[in-house]
Protein backbone atom coordinates (compact mmCIF):
# COMPACT_ATOMS: atom_id res chain seq x y z
CA UNK A 1 0.00 0.00 0.00
CA UNK A 2 2.94 2.40 0.41
CA UNK A 3 6.28 3.02 -1.22
CA UNK A 4 9.81 3.87 -0.02
CA UNK A 5 10.43 6.41 2.72
CA UNK A 6 6.78 6.67 3.81
CA UNK A 7 6.14 2.96 4.36
CA UNK A 8 7.64 2.70 7.84
CA UNK A 9 5.67 5.59 9.27
CA UNK A 10 2.48 3.50 9.26
CA UNK A 11 3.97 0.34 10.79
CA UNK A 12 1.47 -1.51 13.01
CA UNK A 13 -1.36 0.71 11.84
CA UNK A 14 -4.66 -0.13 10.17
CA UNK A 15 -6.59 1.23 7.20
CA UNK A 16 -9.84 0.55 5.35
CA UNK A 17 -9.66 0.35 1.56
CA UNK A 18 -11.50 -0.85 -1.51
CA UNK A 19 -9.33 -2.61 -4.09
CA UNK A 20 -9.79 -1.86 -7.77
CA UNK A 21 -10.56 -4.77 -10.12
CA UNK A 22 -8.54 -5.82 -13.17
CA UNK A 23 -7.82 -4.69 -15.84
CA UNK A 24 -7.91 -1.21 -14.26
CA UNK A 25 -5.89 -2.30 -11.19
CA UNK A 26 -3.30 -4.08 -13.33
CA UNK A 27 -2.79 -0.96 -15.47
CA UNK A 28 -2.49 1.38 -12.45
CA UNK A 29 -0.14 -1.01 -10.61
CA UNK A 30 2.14 -1.20 -13.65
CA UNK A 31 2.07 2.58 -13.99
CA UNK A 32 2.92 2.99 -10.31
CA UNK A 33 5.86 0.58 -10.64
CA UNK A 34 7.08 2.45 -13.70
CA UNK A 35 7.04 5.76 -11.81
CA UNK A 36 8.32 4.44 -8.45
CA UNK A 37 10.01 1.05 -9.05
CA UNK A 38 10.68 0.28 -5.38
CA UNK A 39 7.03 0.38 -4.33
CA UNK A 40 4.72 -2.56 -3.64
CA UNK A 41 1.48 -1.49 -5.36
CA UNK A 42 -2.06 -2.76 -5.03
CA UNK A 43 -4.48 -0.27 -6.57
CA UNK A 44 -7.09 0.88 -4.08
CA UNK A 45 -9.14 3.80 -2.87
CA UNK A 46 -8.79 4.52 0.84
CA UNK A 47 -11.81 5.00 3.08
CA UNK A 48 -9.93 5.25 6.39
CA UNK A 49 -6.26 6.28 6.00
CA UNK A 50 -3.62 4.54 8.17
CA UNK A 51 -4.17 4.94 11.89
CA UNK A 52 -3.46 3.22 15.20
CA UNK A 53 -6.10 0.86 16.54
CA UNK A 54 -7.36 1.70 20.02
CA UNK A 55 -9.10 -1.61 20.66
CA UNK A 56 -9.30 -5.27 19.73
CA UNK A 57 -9.19 -6.20 16.04
CA UNK A 58 -12.14 -8.61 16.32
CA UNK A 59 -14.37 -5.96 17.94
CA UNK A 60 -13.34 -3.36 15.37
CA UNK A 61 -14.17 -5.68 12.47
CA UNK A 62 -17.57 -6.45 14.02
CA UNK A 63 -18.29 -2.72 14.43
CA UNK A 64 -17.23 -1.99 10.84
CA UNK A 65 -19.46 -4.81 9.58
CA UNK A 66 -22.45 -3.46 11.49
CA UNK A 67 -21.90 0.09 10.24
CA UNK A 68 -21.46 -0.89 6.57
CA UNK A 69 -24.29 -3.43 6.28
CA UNK A 70 -26.80 -0.69 5.46
CA UNK A 71 -24.53 1.22 3.08
CA UNK A 72 -25.31 0.21 -0.54
CA UNK A 73 -22.65 -0.56 -3.16
CA UNK A 74 -21.74 2.38 -5.38
CA UNK A 75 -19.80 3.23 -8.52
CA UNK A 76 -16.53 5.13 -8.71
CA UNK A 77 -15.52 6.83 -11.97
CA UNK A 78 -11.92 7.96 -12.30
CA UNK A 79 -10.93 11.42 -13.54
CA UNK A 80 -7.57 12.88 -14.45
CA UNK A 81 -4.04 12.79 -13.03
CA UNK A 82 -3.28 15.44 -10.41
CA UNK A 83 -0.63 16.21 -7.78
CA UNK A 84 -1.19 17.06 -4.11
CA UNK A 85 0.83 20.26 -3.58
CA UNK A 86 2.23 19.66 -0.08
CA UNK A 87 3.02 15.93 -0.24
CA UNK A 88 3.81 15.74 -4.00
CA UNK A 89 1.66 12.58 -4.27
CA UNK A 90 0.61 11.92 -7.87
CA UNK A 91 -2.94 10.58 -7.99
CA UNK A 92 -6.01 9.89 -10.11
CA UNK A 93 -8.95 12.13 -9.16
CA UNK A 94 -12.53 10.91 -8.93
CA UNK A 95 -15.42 12.06 -11.13
CA UNK A 96 -18.06 9.97 -9.34
CA UNK A 97 -18.26 8.24 -5.97
CA UNK A 98 -16.55 10.94 -3.92
CA UNK A 99 -19.74 11.78 -1.96
CA UNK A 100 -20.26 8.13 -1.02
CA UNK A 101 -16.61 7.77 0.05
CA UNK A 102 -16.89 10.90 2.20
CA UNK A 103 -20.08 9.53 3.79
CA UNK A 104 -18.37 6.21 4.57
CA UNK A 105 -15.33 8.01 5.97
CA UNK A 106 -17.44 10.27 8.18
CA UNK A 107 -19.50 7.34 9.45
CA UNK A 108 -16.58 4.97 10.10
CA UNK A 109 -14.02 7.46 11.45
CA UNK A 110 -15.43 7.05 14.97
CA UNK A 111 -15.03 5.01 18.13
CA UNK A 112 -11.95 2.80 18.15
CA UNK A 113 -11.03 3.98 14.64
CA UNK A 114 -11.44 7.70 15.19
CA UNK A 115 -8.33 9.51 13.99
CA UNK A 116 -7.50 13.02 12.87
CA UNK A 117 -4.79 12.49 10.23
CA UNK A 118 -2.20 14.96 8.97
CA UNK A 119 -4.30 15.87 5.91
CA UNK A 120 -8.05 16.31 5.33
CA UNK A 121 -9.70 13.24 3.80
CA UNK A 122 -9.57 13.49 0.00
CA UNK A 123 -10.59 10.31 -1.90
CA UNK A 124 -8.20 9.43 -4.75
CA UNK A 125 -6.12 6.62 -6.27
CA UNK A 126 -2.40 7.06 -5.54
CA UNK A 127 -0.11 6.68 -8.56
CA UNK A 128 3.24 7.74 -7.05
CA UNK A 129 4.45 9.00 -3.69
CA UNK A 130 7.70 9.50 -1.79
CA UNK A 131 9.35 10.62 -5.04
CA UNK A 132 13.11 11.12 -4.75
CA UNK A 133 14.37 13.59 -5.66
CA UNK A 134 11.23 15.75 -5.34
CA UNK A 135 12.13 17.78 -8.44
CA UNK A 136 11.05 14.75 -10.54
CA UNK A 137 7.38 15.16 -9.59
CA UNK A 138 6.44 17.27 -12.63
CA UNK A 139 8.21 14.89 -15.02
CA UNK A 140 6.58 11.82 -13.50
CA UNK A 141 3.15 13.48 -13.41
CA UNK A 142 3.49 14.32 -17.12
CA UNK A 143 4.43 10.68 -17.88
CA UNK A 144 1.45 9.45 -15.82
CA UNK A 145 -0.91 11.79 -17.71
CA UNK A 146 0.41 10.52 -21.05
CA UNK A 147 -0.01 6.84 -20.06
CA UNK A 148 -3.47 7.48 -18.56
CA UNK A 149 -4.61 9.28 -21.72
CA UNK A 150 -3.52 6.27 -23.80
CA UNK A 151 -5.29 3.73 -21.55
CA UNK A 152 -8.40 2.39 -23.31
CA UNK A 153 -9.79 0.12 -20.58
CA UNK A 154 -12.51 0.78 -18.01
CA UNK A 155 -12.21 3.87 -15.85
CA UNK A 156 -14.91 2.88 -13.40
CA UNK A 157 -15.59 0.16 -10.84
CA UNK A 158 -18.13 -0.79 -8.19
CA UNK A 159 -17.35 -0.63 -4.49
CA UNK A 160 -19.14 -3.66 -3.07
CA UNK A 161 -16.79 -4.68 -0.26
CA UNK A 162 -14.07 -3.11 1.84
CA UNK A 163 -10.79 -4.55 3.08
CA UNK A 164 -9.54 -3.88 6.60
CA UNK A 165 -5.75 -3.97 6.29
CA UNK A 166 -2.77 -3.88 8.67
CA UNK A 167 0.77 -2.67 8.05
CA UNK A 168 2.86 -5.59 9.34
CA UNK A 169 6.32 -4.58 8.03
CA UNK A 170 7.78 -1.66 6.08
CA UNK A 171 5.92 -1.51 2.75
CA UNK A 172 3.87 -4.62 3.62
CA UNK A 173 0.12 -4.53 4.20
CA UNK A 174 -2.01 -7.62 4.78
CA UNK A 175 -5.76 -8.08 4.54
CA UNK A 176 -7.24 -8.69 7.99
CA UNK A 177 -10.91 -8.87 6.94
CA UNK A 178 -13.27 -8.40 4.01
CA UNK A 179 -16.31 -6.30 4.88
CA UNK A 180 -19.23 -6.34 2.42
CA UNK A 181 -21.49 -3.39 1.84
CA UNK A 182 -25.26 -3.88 1.96
CA UNK A 183 -26.79 -6.41 -0.39
CA UNK A 184 -29.33 -4.55 -2.52
CA UNK A 185 -32.99 -5.43 -1.85
CA UNK A 186 -34.11 -8.06 -4.34
CA UNK A 187 -30.59 -9.37 -4.97
CA UNK A 188 -30.39 -13.12 -5.10
CA UNK A 189 -34.12 -13.60 -5.68
Task: Answer yes or no: CATH 3.40.50.1100 is held by domain 7-180.
Answer: no
How do the domains of the chain map onto residue ranges?
7-180
From residue 184, alpha-carbon distances to 15, 27, 65, 180 in Å are: 25, 30, 16, 11
Residue 122: which of 95, 100, 102 has the closest Cα? 102
Tens digits of residue pLDDT in 19-65: 999 999 999 999 999 999 988 899 999 999 999 998 899 999 999 99
| CA-based end-to-end distance of the chain | 37
Tens digits of residue pLDDT in 79-106: 999 999 989 999 999 999 999 999 999 9
Amino acid sequence: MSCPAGGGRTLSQFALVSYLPDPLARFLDRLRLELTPDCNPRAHVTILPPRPLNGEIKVTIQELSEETRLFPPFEIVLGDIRVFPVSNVIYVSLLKGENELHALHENLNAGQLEYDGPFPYHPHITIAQDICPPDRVDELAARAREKWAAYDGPRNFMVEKLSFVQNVAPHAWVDVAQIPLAVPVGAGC
